């Protein structure tokens, strides 16, 4: 390496380390504040760990009924929504991957067109009303962008297209129907891509807050993120007061409560993140090869 290249390498490493710190620090900060006493929580400056430790913010958060309701609804939509999506995306992608499907191009264009032109927020809102999904938990798993993601659908379709035709042909000779082929041969071979697509869907479900804001009035059906938004973004004083009243309101401040509730929504993702790393990113590799 030349001197120039050595210098570059040094700068490169310094820059990348700085970048990583920028990515991680906000979460470390919030974690520290969530475990802080009131005086420590409002202290200006760096928070790498709580200088004064307290579990009170979490005690408050855990005794709030609304948090558990939120968790319940979010877990429901994540699990049910992802399973539903994987089933129906597979069922839809498989026929589209077969060249001999009648009107294949037409169907594909019909679906892909929706990626480039949509009705818009208001017409969709009115349609959801029309279909009777207003204030129903089903809207979490049936309404776009969930149930079927066109992008994931195309990735699945392309993957199915790459599976050798001989496998299917020999199964057909043994008398297997298309559905049997899909479930006994194609899907087992597609585990990696299904994992990736499923994970994308699950993360989106977990993070979804706007449909709750738009379509749901019943607080029993609210998801965690929508409740979080009311607490943290809309600065809903009623909700905050109700939260703080759980333990007499003495040992917490809004800052530590906000941090604790944010961490409650964040920690599940942080926990599964290292284990599912490869699934998150593999899909793009597969998709980009023949995207």
Identify residues 33-92 at the interface with another protein (CB under 8 A).
Answer: 33, 42-47, 88-89, 91-92
Neighbours of 12 (CB within 10 A): 10
Binding to another protein, residues 270-289 (CB under 8 A)? 273-274, 277, 280-281, 284-285, 288-289
Pick the closer one to another protein by CB: 68 or 210: 210
Q: And the tokens for 177?
A: 């129907």
d(Cα 155, Cα 135) in Å, to the nearest integer? 32
Query: Can you say whether residue 83 is alpha, beta or left, with left for phi > 0 and alpha for psi between -120 and 50 degrees?
Result: alpha
d(Cα 66, Cα 4) in Å, to the nearest integer? 58
Over the window 165 to 194, marking each residue x when it contacts another protein by CB under 8 A and - when it does not, the resulting string is ------------xxx--x------------
127: contact with another protein by CB under 8 A: yes
From the CB of 248, what's the least distance to another protein, in Å? 24
Q: And the tokens for 140?
A: 């979490």
147: contact with another protein by CB under 8 A: yes
In the chain, what's the furthest Cα-to-Cα distance? 74
Q: Which residues contact 82 (CB under 8 A, 6 or more apart)?
A: 198, 201, 202, 205
Of the candidates 261, 271, 280, which has an alpha carbon nearest to the alpha carbon of residue 204?
A: 280
Q: Which residues contact 151 (CB under 8 A, 6 or more apart)?
A: 115
d(Cα 219, Cα 213) in Å, to the nearest integer? 10
From the CB of 5, what's the least distance to another protein, in Å? 6
Three-state SS for 30? helix
Q: And the tokens for 174?
A: 């043994």
Pick the closer one to another protein by CB: 10 or 250: 10
Among 7, 62, 79, 123, binds another protein (CB under 8 A): 123
Q: For helices 150-161 and 65-97, what crossing angle results, to 10°? A: 40
Among 61, 244, 259, 260, binds another protein (CB under 8 A): 259
From the CB of 2, what's the least distance to another protein, in Å? 7
From the CB of 16, what's the least distance to another protein, in Å? 5
From the CB of 154, what's the least distance to another protein, in Å? 12
From the CB of 119, what's the least distance to another protein, in Å? 3
From the CB of 251, what's the least distance to another protein, in Å? 19
Pick the closer one to another protein by CB: 148 or 216: 148
Q: Among the candidate windows 74-82, 161-169, 188-196, 206-214, which touches another protein by CB under 8 A? A: 206-214
């Amino acid at each position: 390496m030349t001197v120039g290249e050595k210098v570059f390498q040094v700068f490169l490493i310094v820059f990348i380390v700085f970048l990583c710190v920028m990515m991680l620090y906000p979460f470390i900060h919030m974690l520290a504040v969530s475990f802080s006493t009131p005086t420590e929580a409002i202290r200006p400056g760096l928070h790498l760990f709580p200088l004064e430790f307290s579990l009170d913010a979490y005690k408050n958060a855990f005794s709030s009924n609304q948090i558990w309701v939120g968790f319940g609804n979010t877990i429901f939509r994540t699990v049910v929504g992802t399973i539903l999506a994987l089933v129906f995306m597979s069922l839809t992608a498989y026929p589209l991957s077969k060249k001999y499907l009648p009107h294949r191009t037409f169907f594909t264009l019909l679906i892909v067109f929706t990626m480039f032109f949509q009705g818009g927020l208001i017409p969709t809102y009115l349609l959801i009303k029309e279909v009777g999904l207003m204030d129903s938990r089903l809207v979490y798993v049936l309404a776009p962008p969930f149930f079927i993601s066109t992008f994931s659908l195309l990735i699945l379709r392309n993957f199915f297209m790459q599976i050798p035709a001989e496998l299917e042909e020999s199964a057909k000779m043994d008398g297997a129907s298309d559905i049997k082929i899909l479930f006994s041969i194609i899907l087992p071979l597609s585990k990696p891509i299904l994992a990736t697509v499923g994970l994308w869907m699950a993360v989106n479900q977990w993070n979804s807050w706007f449909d709750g804001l738009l379509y749901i009035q019943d607080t029993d059906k609210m998801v965690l993120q929508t409740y979080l938004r009311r607490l943290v973004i809309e600065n809903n004083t009623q909700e905050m007061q109700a939260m703080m009243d759980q333990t007499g309101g003495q040992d917490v401040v809004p800052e530590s409560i906000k941090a604790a509730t944010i961490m409650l929504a964040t920690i599940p993702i942080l926990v599964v993140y290292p284990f599912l790393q490869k699934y998150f990113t593999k899909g793009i590799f597969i998709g980009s090869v023949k995207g």
